[in-house]
Structure 1
Amino acid sequence: MLNLTDLPVNATLHKSPSVIIKVCVVIPFFCVFLCCIVVMLQILASHRQFLETSRYILFASMLINDTLQLMFSVLLFLLVMGQVKFALGLCFPLLFISAATFQNTPLILATMSLERYVAIFYPLQRPAAWRSDHIWIIILSLWLISCSFPIIEYSMGKRYPEVNTFSVPVLCKSVIVNSSPVQTLFKAAVNVLCFAVVAVIILFTYVRILLETRKMRQDKVSVSKAMHTVLLHGFQLLLCVLAFTSPITETLIVLRADWLPEDIAFFNFFCFILIPRFLSPLIYGFRDQSLRSNIGKTFLCCSYKVKSNVKVQVQDNLFSFRLKT
């Protein structure tokens, strides 16, 4: 997982104003994201039509996965910014969940594209695994696969020499548990293989649905929507791939600007980790007509309640003022 936990150990000790600014940028950004995700999850959980549709169940799984990924990434960011040290036994779960959710996102995108493919080509005889009451088996399988990668990676190499027990306080950085060249090579190979396979799956489903659109004379609207959905999954995958552009951006920034290492790391973390994870579920959620209409109704209902409460409060204040006078 590429994140701000690779900062130099003493990078933030003497930069307190810069640290405060970075924290003040990240926290509100994450809070807005969390509010939007909570609203969408509440809508998905409260409407039967969403709970009985495989596509929306997979989307809810993606929302939960991206929320966990951002939550633990921001937590690791805050711990590094505050130079907080604690036992490696507590650090390992944070890094593990961050890495597993990072690997799980492209797998979910590939599954959502395959779900659209199955819905178009097998509308009446859909395989049992792709039905809404069995889709949890696929989701569980994706979690098992994504969790197996960091387990294998962490078990391959050795930790820092000074970190010989799980009770030694350390700064929670990925380099603590991913320090050997073998682990780096394994991680790079897994990322390349995973994203390449997902890209091939999305491209395959897009091309097949595109060809089907040209053949069909009826129900072209639903097939065209499925094609655009798969294309959106390809864009979401591209946003995920941005996380691997940090070496390029670091080189360009070093050549063009005199930035500190911690500022470069924060720039990459904010632009290529936070923003893509923020945009990916929101673009998909607000693009869907059913979700978009429900989101609009939810916000209108909330604003109406706020206005009503304010109006009642003002009337109560006026009434109490008149009684006093």
Structure 2
Amino acid sequence: MADNNSLTGVESLEVELPDQIVTVQILVVIFLCINLMLIITFFTKECFYTTTRYILFAVTLLSDSFLLFMSDILVIFTQFYITIQVWLCIIICVVVLVYVTVTPVTLTAMTLERYVAICMPLRHGELCSPRNTIRCILIIHGLSSVPCIIILCTFFGSAPLSFYKQYQLCSVELFLLSIWQQHLRSAIYQFQFLIMCIVLVFSYVKIMKVAKAASGEDKKSTKKGLRTVVLHGFQLLLCLIQLWCPFIEAPLLQISFSLFNNVRYFNYIMFFLAPRCLSPLIYGLRDEVFFHALKNCASFGLYKGNTI
């Protein structure tokens, strides 16, 4: 069973492990509640929804929330063997396929924003204006849609019309009718992440040079930006490992189903859920302005901190 369904996390859990299903449901609810609180905080101050890095941060929150919600629906469907018609499954999986890529592409854009802010400060206001940010978001979603479009085009070209009315367990694997389609999807994602890694390394090297030359307050700010880029790199690494998981899991199925199941559960937690809880840490807790606004929001206005 050589597949890439780690992207959706649908088959990471099986009915024989209800305790793991419950654990995942709890984690998903916690992450969704945290994301909701952060999104509410984002709209409390004008400086957040008019600043590029905060707008892109909100995009990652919405993307992760959509993805967690939709993939959790698929987990529940799989758990209870709920079948749906293929055409409805296509609609659900389009959201999953698009938003599984939106977050890493947005992280790359956030890395570039830090590069511009630190290495090109005089042009930061021009390049990272709200209007350009909206254009960037459209580009992010366009690039993230490429794998989905290719996967569905290969499916539409090979599936008979009668197949769309059949009732099936919904998963991305449903649209990969041949081995070459699985390899094609893997190649597309690997290429995308290679480009993102190149951008991240380029930004890191440039910011590192500025950090060495900076002094005083500028040096402190630059080092903070450098740490942010490193954390983005760690998130991208987890997302990249997520793509390799199926190649590790497939041979285990031939050895032991129990071992295969446990490894897929571990991979789902580590490489699907974990990267999506790092964004709140990076910008929700490490950013002083946003953190004070978050505490004020969480305390229903009782906390009076250093907000702007």
Q: TM-score, normalised by structure 1?
A: 0.81
1:210 pairs, out of 208, 211, 214, with 208
Matches within 5 A, 1:238-257: 238-247=237-246, 250=249
Matches within 5 A, 1:168-183: 168-183=166-181
Q: 1:82 to 1:302 in 2, by over 3 A?
A: farther
Q: Quote the Cα distance in structure 1 between the aligned partners of 2:74 and 2:161.
A: 19
Q: Quote the Cα distance in structure 2 between the aligned partners of 1:127 and 1:53.
A: 10
Whose radius of gyration is greater, 1 or 2? 1
1:139 deviation in Å?
0.5
Q: Quote the Cα distance in structure 1 between the aligned partners of 2:12 and 2:22.
A: 19
CA contact (8 A) 2:12 2:264 kept: yes
Q: Secondary structure at the match of 1:83?
A: coil
User: Over aligned residues, Cα RMSD in angstroms?
Assistant: 2.8
Question: What is the aligned partner in structure 2 of residue 5 from structure 1?
Answer: 10
Q: Quote the Cα distance in structure 2 between the aligned partners of 1:81 and 1:167.
A: 22
Q: Which consecutive residues of structure 2, in runs of 5 or more, have no partner in the other structure?
A: 304-308
Q: Secondary structure at the match of 1:179?
A: coil
Q: Quote the Cα distance in structure 2 between the aligned partners of 1:242 and 1:115.
A: 25
The letter of the residue matching 2:194 is A
Q: Secondary structure at the match of 1:170?
A: strand
CA contact (8 A) 1:40 1:295 kept: yes
Question: What is the aligned partner in structure 2 of residue 109 from structure 1?
Answer: 107
CA contact (8 A) 1:129 1:137 kept: no
Q: Identity over aligned residues, as a percent?
A: 27
CA contact (8 A) 2:56 2:106 kept: yes
Question: What is the aligned partner in structure 1 of residue 268 from structure 2?
Answer: 269
1:89 pairs, out of 65, 68, 87, with 87
CA contact (8 A) 1:87 1:168 kept: yes
CA contact (8 A) 1:100 1:146 kept: yes
CA deviation profile, 1:146-178 (whole Å, cap 9, x unmatched): 112211122124689787332221110222111
| 2:84 matches 1:79 | no
Q: 1:284 to 1:273 in 2, by over 3 A?
A: same
1:302 deviation in Å?
8.2
Matches within 5 A, 1:50-199: 50-126=48-124, 128-157=126-155, 164-199=162-197
1:45 deviation in Å?
0.9
How many residues were matched structurally? 297
Q: 1:215 to 1:279 in 2, by over 3 A?
A: closer
Q: 1:249 to 1:283 in 2, by over 3 A?
A: farther
Q: Secondary structure at the match of 2:123?
A: coil
Q: Quote the Cα distance in structure 2 between the aligned partners of 1:255 and 1:238.
A: 28
Q: Which consecutive residues of structure 1, in runs of 5 or more, have no partner in the other structure?
A: 305-325
Q: Secondary structure at the match of 2:121?
A: coil
Question: What is the aligned partner in structure 1 of residue 288 from structure 2?
Answer: 289
CA deviation profile, 1:186-222 (whole Å, cap 9, x unmatched): 2111111111111111111111011012223452222
CA contact (8 A) 2:113 2:128 kept: yes
- Which fold has the larger relative contact order, with Cα–Cα distance below 8 Å and residues 6 or more apart in sequence? 2
CA deviation profile, 1:235-294 (whole Å, cap 9, x unmatched): 111221231242465379679977164444333323321233233433442121122222
CA contact (8 A) 2:211 2:222 kept: yes
